[in-house]
Amino acid sequence: MVAFRSSDTSARSTGLLLRCVLFALLAIIMMIVDKRYDHLGKIRRALSIVAYPAQVAVASPFEGWAWLRESVTTREALRADKARLEEQLRVAQFRLQRYEALEAESRRLRALRDNTAGVGARFLVGNVMDVDLDAFRERVLVDKGAHDGVYVGQAVLDAGGVFGQVARVGEMTSEVILISDAAHAIPVQDNRNGLRTIAVGTGDVSHLKLPYISTAADIVKGDLLVTSGLGGGFPAGYPVGTVTEVKRDPAQSLADVEVSPAAALDRDQELLFVWPAAGAAPEVSLTPATTKPATTPPPKPGEPVKPLEAAKK
Amino acid sequence: MMRDERIRRLPMVLSALGALTLAIVPLPALVDPFRPDFLVLVVFYWSIESPRAGGLTFAFVAGLCLDIIKGAVLGQHALALTLMAAWATNLRLRLRVFSVLSQSLTIFALLTGYQFILFWIDGATGNPVTSLGRWLAPVIGALIWPALVGLLSRLHER
């Protein structure tokens, strides 16, 4: 039976109202300071250290279970796994041979055009922590933070393609916003014909959409979209997704295009943080700086790329 | 008097920590939208049961914890939780004599108000949540309210 036992019936409404207003004001001021000026970043980073043990505590049973399951795997399963991985490695090496030749060729061609779009140079592997942030936002918590040199706006990949970018950095952890988040946009280009556009998240991990494609544009089902590198947030040339549906309504000026992401957004455990290649020129030679999306901030001054670039000039 | 207050605070802190853990435990994607706001319910319970033990300070701190864990704008959950906890404190004398159904309905109203403030701040800060799923949490919260009160008052008696 639902019952409250307390005899605490003192009615202190005036004090209550006053404190309520005070706390509300404090909260509003905090929100404004947090949103407008970035002063609370340090406080937040310090507080994220406090939250870290709780997050680890919640994640560890799941990791322990995974470890236990892995350690009781049978010899048969391991052998099957090994055979499969060897097969994959063979295929990958075969592809890599071609890739190296292609990369050299592409570098020569880009040199001709005086445009060195950088493919990422340094990688760091991070693990997704089994912690839920918010059911209605596409974000994950990863176990690498400012301590490892991760910075806000950094591109994050997985084995399939582009996964997202770093939205917030803590000391030991960082929050990665997925490309499928409704607030995320990524500059892409069609790998078949170089058509450039922006892929916007939908809040659903299974698809993205291209809202700025005109009905006359040359885009068909099955086209591969790769990062264009415009805006400087993401390195160029990584797969983002495949076009799954193109709806053209002659009455509308824009087509309805759906894209299925290349990265396994809903089940990936290992992610790659990418640092742009040293000497990567700001990719602005293709178009004037109008296509820069709001969600990809330019690299921060503290980053290793800038000094090198400055030294070159 | 001092001693009396200390006895009251331990279950409050324990239940808040428990609720915070439940808020970040990973659930299958299918069940995830149905997760009630445990910490919010716990704050409401203590605001009604013994507002002197923690009161609005407790609500504000709990809200800040939610902000940090969920990566929201600092102060968002704190504002929503403080306002709704103040309302709950204001209603507490009436709530205690309400039937289970009326209590649940009141809690539903409080939770909806909480979600509405979050929704409004999300919109004002420029990253709105597009899905309708968040309006499910108040319903689930109101449904589990009687069970939660039973559990917490048992904890309180210890």
Residue predicted with more confidence, A10 or A208: A208
Of residues A223, A177, A179, the one with CA closest to residue A202: A179
pLDDT for A264 equals 84
CB-nearest partner of A5 from B130, B146, B153: B153
* Tokens describing residue A164: 């997202």
CA dist B10 and A135 (Å) reads 30
Percent of chain A with pLDDT over 90: 10
Best residue in A48, A136, A139 to probe B by mutation, most B CBs within 10 Å?
A136
pLDDT for A293 equals 42
Cβ A6–B49 below 8 Å, yes or no? yes
CB atoms < 10 A from the CB of A217, how many? 17
Give residues 48 to 87 of B whose Cβ lies within 8 Å of A.
Answer: 48-52, 55-57, 59-60, 63, 65, 68-76, 78-79, 82-83, 86
Cβ B150–A2 below 8 Å, yes or no? yes
Burial A44-80 (b: 16+ CB within 10 A, else e): bbebbeebbebbeebbeeeeeeeeeeeeeeeeeeeee
Partner A contacted by B18 (CB < 8 A): no
**pLDDT higher than 70, residue B137:** yes
Enumerate the residues of chain A whose CB falls inside 8 A of the CB of residue B50: 6, 8
Tell me the pLDDT tens digit for each residue of B94-107. 888 888 889 899 99
What is the model's pTM? 0.64
CB atoms < 10 A from the CB of B114, how many? 26
Domains in chain A: ranges and CATH: 14-71 (no CATH), 117-278 (2.40.10.340)
Residues sharing a CB contact under 8 Å with residue A281, sequence separation 6 or more, in sequence order = A115, A116, A117, A118, A309
Cβ A134–B70 below 8 Å, yes or no? yes
CA dist A309 and B7 (Å) reads 63
Burial B142-158 (b: 16+ CB within 10 A, else e): beebbebbeebbeebee
Tell me the pLDDT tens digit for each residue of A29-74. 888 888 777 666 677 777 777 777 777 877 888 888 888 887 887 7
Mean pLDDT calculated for residue range B46-60: 83
What stretch of H or E contains B66? helix B55-70
Boundaries of domain holding B77: 2-27+35-157
**pLDDT band with cut points at 50, 70 and 90 for residue A198:** very high
CA dist A179 and A226 (Å) reads 13
How many structural domains is chain B composed of? 1
Of residues A148, A180, A146, A150, the one with CA closest to residue A163: A180
Q: What is the β-pairing status of strands A224-227 and A239-247? A: antiparallel
Backbone angles phi, psi at A169, to 5 degrees: -115, 130
Residue of A nearest to B27 (CA): A132
Best residue in A5, A10, A16, A204 to probe B by mutation, most B CBs within 10 Å?
A16
pLDDT for A6 equals 52
CA dist A282 and A117 (Å) reads 8
Of residues A246, A251, A313, A256, the one with CA closest to residue A282: A313
Enumerate the residues of chain A whose CB falls inside 8 A of the CB of residue B71: 133-134, 139, 167-168, 175
Cβ B33–A136 below 8 Å, yes or no? yes
A207, HSE (Cβ side, Cα atoms, 13 Å): 11
Of residues A243, A156, A176, the one with CA closest to residue A207: A243
Burial A105-136 (b: 16+ CB within 10 A, else e): eeeeeeeeeeebbbbbeeeeebebbbbbbbbb
Residue of A nearest to B5 (CA): A8
Cβ A27–B78 below 8 Å, yes or no? yes
